[in-house]
Amino acid sequence: MSRRRLRLLLFVPVAAVLAGVLMWGLVGLPSFGSPPHAYAAYLLKHEVGQRHVTNIPSAIVFDYRGWDTLGEELILFTSVMGTALLLRRGREDTGERPRDKAASAAVRHAGAFLVPVVLLLGIWTVSYGYLTPGGGFQGGLICSGAALFLWIAGSYRLHRGLTPTPLVDAAEGSGAAAYIATGLAALAAGQAFLAGFLPSGTVGSLLSGGTIALLNWATGLEVAAAGVLIFHEFLEEYIQTVPNPSPRQEER
């Protein structure tokens, strides 16, 4: 009681000061909608000419600032490794997997229809990522969502059976490695790390972008696999709360 009060008593003035300081900082910023900074102006003018890619954010993400994306991709990779380390070590052996099944017929049928649609949507988002909004990260996540639908509409066994962990592990590692390897290939070609050493292709076609396309696909693979692995680990945790081996819910 007294400790809680003391905390509040301290927090209120502190929060007030913090809010004041932050406001003071924000108020001084250029107003909304003011003309773009030099960097944005340069990219708007020159990007398509330089990199032949119509979705400028993709060109920034996979080329101009591709080194950041490498780091970010590895952050995702590391988080998955870390999650696996923490959850696998904290878990007792589960034994048999439950024979759960989606309860309602509506969910089963809608889900069965949705799995291929979502997967296709994901692959489409990756492949057109450098032409229209989207890209490896977004598309990869959508693909991993399709794997999740396997569980929602089907069963846990189906979900794990169709996404075998050794394969997904390998896919995740190779996706991350492929990104770095593309950078190294540029180095081997005598250019700077991650430089666009491949021909840039025709503007507006799927064959444009050169290394951007490669890096985009590498990211898509890595993110999709990372998503599936995280779902594996967390579902495995959830599954432990399901009475074993009786079904998740009685079918009526």
Partner 1 sequence: MADASTLVPLTVAVPLITAALLAAVSRWIPRRGPDLAALAAAVAVTVMSVALVVATRDTPIVYWFGGWHPVRGVALGIDFVVEPAGASLAALSGVIAVASLVFSWRYFEEVGHLYHTLVLTLLAGMVGFSLSGDLFNIFVWLELMSVAAYALCGYQIHQSGVVQGALTFAVLNTIGTLTLLMGIALVYGRTGALNLAQIGESLHGHPPGGPVIVAFTLITAGLLVKAGAVPFHFWLADAYTVVPAPVGALFAGVMSDLAYHTFARVYWDGFSDALAAHRDAVRDALLVLAVASILVGAVMALLEAELKRQVAFATVANGGLVLAGIALLTPRGLGGATMLVVVDGLLKAALFLLIAAIIQWLDGGDELLLHGRGRRRGGVLPGVLLAACGLGFALVPPFGPFLGTALAVDAAGRPWLTAVAACGAAATGAVFLRAAARIFLGWGPREDPAITREPTESREGEPEFQPNDDWKRVGHRIIMLAPPTVLVIAGYVLSLVPGVADWFTSVAHGITTPHRTAEYVLSGHLPPLPPLPHSHGHYAPGGSAWACAAGSLIGSVLLAAASLWWQRLGRVVRRVLLVPVAALKSVHDGAVGDYTLWFATGVAALGAVWTLTLR
Partner 2 sequence: MIDVVQIVVLTFVALLGVAVVACRDTLRQVMVNGMFGLSLVVLFTVFEAPDVAISMAVVSNVAYPMLLLATIYRTRGRGADERERE
What backbone torsions phi and psi does residue 114 show, to the nearest 5 degrees?
Answer: -75, -30
Binding mask 106-145 for partner 2 (x = CB under 8 A): -------------------x-------xxx-xx--xx-xx
Q: Return the one option of partner 1, partner 2, none that residue 42 interacts with (CB less than 5 to 8 A, by type).
A: partner 1
- Least separation in angstroms between residue 231's CB and partner 1 is 17
Of the pair 12, 117, the CB lying nearest partner 1 is at 12
57 is an interface residue for partner 1 by CB under 8 A: no
The correct pick among 108, 169, 201, 239 for binding partner 1 (CB under 8 A) is 169
Counting contacts by CB under 8 A, is residue 241 touching partner 2? yes
Which of partner 2, partner 1, none lies near 137, with the C-beta cut-off 5 to 8 A by kind? Answer: partner 2
Which one of 54, 55, 127, 219 is in contact with partner 2 (CB under 8 A)?
55
Tokens of 32: 């909304």
Check residue 244 for interaction with partner 2 (CB under 8 A): no
For helices 66-90 and 165-188, give the axis angle rounded to 10 degrees: 150
Q: Does 186 bind partner 2 (CB under 8 A)?
A: no
Which position among 172, 200, 220, 231 is part of the footprint of partner 1 (CB under 8 A)? 172
Tell me: does residue 57 bind partner 2 (CB under 8 A). yes
